[in-house]
Amino acid sequence: MTLLDVAKAWRDQDPDLETREELDGLIADVEAGDDDAVAQLHDRFDTRLEFGTAGLRGRIEAGSNRMNRVLVAQAAAGLAAFLLAREEHPSIVIGYDGRKNSRVFATDTAELMAGVGVRAIILPRELPTPVLAFAVRQLGVSAGVMVTASHNPPQDNGYKVYLGGADHGSQIVPPADGEIAAEILRVAATANVLELPRSPKFETAGEEILDEYVRRTAALASGSPTLRYVYTALHGVGWETAHRVFREAGFAEPIAVRQQIEPDAGFPTVSFPNPEEPGAMDLAFALATAENADLVIANDPDADRLAIGVPTTEGWERLSGNEVGALLGWRAAERLNGSGTLAASIVSSPALAAVAHHYGLTYTDTLTGFKWVSRVPGLSFGYEEALGYLVDPDKIRDKDGISAAVDFLALATELRAAGSSLREHRLAFADTFGGFASGQVSIRVSDLGQIRQIMQRLRTNLPEAIGETAVDRVDDFADGFEQFPAGDILRFWLADGSRVIVRPSGTEPKVKVYLDASSTDGTADARLASARSKVAALETAMRALLA
């Protein structure tokens, strides 16, 4: 088939008027000889969005390399075939957020599942990802789907898959992702999605699933109304659920950033709906200043991530994911009484390992991605540096920005009651475990082939020093390393104990560099200053090395 034939076949099975008309216009432009339209058609149809351990995620447009109703129907039918091959009577729960087409994609999935005999339950309305992850375990279903693009740009949407049973409600990992992908490709090659069996006989979950999530999350802390804090949902779906949890836990009424509190698929007040991005929390910080607040709490749009803002003499500061992870990990370790397991992804700070060692706890490094953290045997607390935290693994096996917010609010409240503060607590951490600092360098590329070139160049010419500091050893994960499977990762250990990790991004066209340093010399302030100075030097050196 020619490119035009492929595009027309896709158009003819598209149930969505908007993307069908969009593709019709593009086809007409190609037939009129428009070279730009030809290039667009190649971009949309020369490949397809790859289904992997992160499910699907991409821009909402027509084409196999985009998110749309055709692609989602193929994914749902493929996932259904996978579940039916595993179980005689499989079941699935489906959630969705407030992004464009999220409810449509969720309803398509429910109808297609029901159409082939999979018991399908859809959540009652747009809700956070942690509620869906909780529902997989609470309802005892075979699988879960969450329609969300998390903190991606506004024009994107996505499709996360969880498995129940022996997977305990965690996101998919190999080999399941490959098996599901194979079924999706089979459907795409053999079926017109308009002819796939559908049924309206799916179930809608009752409010009790949300009520139980709220009850169990609020039970993590005994709050106090003494703390003043600002909350923003960044135009996502976190507000209703988080508000209920905070109130039921006994905390003060959150001071809401009203411009960002309701779901809005356009994300009008932020250029990028990710609390890690510069400017994303500016409205929250301005409100916190005006209200003389003690803390800022921010969830990303599907509320599985948490960002914390604290006041300083120079204005508001967002704590890094590593800082929040270390403080929550310390809190978890104190509760564990010498028995338990802490875990973090390999690109996260070594600070949590220091906490585990201090308390005689087991510590486990995992591959990048929370799906790996959540699967650590006997997990008591886990986190990843990209603002993901799991404080209650008995309830949920995924990062949860709402339960982590409750735990952090409880920490700040307890510190105030004891006459202390978060600033003093951060210094106490450095006193107890050492001063830790982290940083990142991102090298964005226009051609994915450049990523392979950068990684190959590093492997071919391994540096003997990074900046002024000698490299002690290098761990190359290309053929697997220790307990880890093969991966495109290089880890450099330096003579002063610093660490540099280089790997391609899993979701964006860039190479990511993770920088970590620590110090145990001098006062807490001196330790932190030394660690930060080392990270700054490493950043300068790595930018020069990868230029």
Task: Provide φ and ψ at 207, rounded to 5°.
Answer: -65, -20
What's the pLDDT tens digit per position in 165-177? 999 999 999 999 9
Q: Where are the domains of the chain?
A: 1-46, 52-206, 210-310, 321-433, 435-546
Average model confidence (pLDDT) for the chain? 95
**Is residue 319 predicted with pLDDT exceeding 90?**
yes
pLDDT of residue 446: 76
Instruction: Determine contact, residues 158/53, Cβ cutoff 8 Å.
Output: no
**Is residue 52 predicted with pLDDT exceeding 90?**
no
- Rounded-to-integer distance, Cα 132 and Cα 398, Å: 10
**Is residue 508 predicted with pLDDT exceeding 80?**
no
Tell me, what DSSP letter sits at residue 252? P
Superfamily of domain 321-433: Alpha-D-Glucose-1,6-Bisphosphate, subunit A, domain 3 (3.40.120.10)
Q: For residue 297, what pLDDT band results from cuts at 50, 70 and 90?
A: very high
Q: Exposed, middle or buried: residue 192 (CB in 10 Å: 0-12, 13-18, 19+)?
A: exposed
- Name which of 236-240, 294-298, 313-317 the model is least confident about: 313-317
Instruction: Determine contact, residues 308/321, Cβ cutoff 8 Å.
Output: no
Instruction: Determine contact, residues 62/98, Cβ cutoff 8 Å.
Output: no
CATH among 3.40.120.10, 2.60.40.10, 3.40.1830.10, 3.30.70.1060 for 52-206: 3.40.120.10
What's the pLDDT tens digit per position in 454-466? 999 999 999 999 9
Query: Catalytic one among 64, 142, 150, 530?
Result: 150
- Rounded-to-integer distance, Cα 547 and Cα 176, Å: 38
Verify whether residue 102 is a known catalytic residue: no
Q: What percent of the chain has pLDDT over 70?
A: 99
- Rounded-to-integer distance, Cα 201 and Cα 212, Å: 25
Instruction: Determine contact, residues 366/372, Cβ cutoff 8 Å.
Output: yes
**Is residue 398 predicted with pLDDT exceeding 80?**
yes
Instruction: Determine contact, residues 166/431, Cβ cutoff 8 Å.
Output: no
pLDDT of residue 339: 93
- Rounded-to-integer distance, Cα 534 and Cα 436, Å: 10
Q: For residue 115, what pLDDT band results from cuts at 50, 70 and 90?
A: very high
Which CATH architecture fits 210-310?
3-Layer(aba) Sandwich (3.40)
CA dihedral 420, 425, 427, 433 (to 10 degrees): 140
- Rounded-to-integer distance, Cα 86 and Cα 271, Å: 43
- Rounded-to-integer distance, Cα 392 and Cα 40, Å: 46
pLDDT of residue 450: 85
Element (H, E) at 156: strand 156-163
Q: Which residue type is seen at 476?
A: D
CATH among 3.40.50.20, 3.30.310.50, 3.40.50.720, 3.40.50.620 for 435-546: 3.30.310.50
| Domain 52-206 shares a fold with domain 321-433 | yes
- Rounded-to-integer distance, Cα 235 and Cα 473, Å: 45
Whether the model pTM is above 0.75: yes
**Is residue 144 predicted with pLDDT exceeding 80?**
yes
What's the pLDDT tens digit per position in 261-271? 999 999 999 98
Instruction: Determine contact, residues 261/255, Cβ cutoff 8 Å.
Output: no
In a 3-state reduction of DSSP, which class is residue 144?
strand
Locate 393 and state its tokens. 């693994």
Q: Which residue type is seen at 213?
A: Y
Listed in sequence order, the residues at least 6 apart from 442 whose beta carbon sits closer than 8 Å to its beta carbon are 505, 510, 511, 512, 513
pLDDT of residue 507: 63
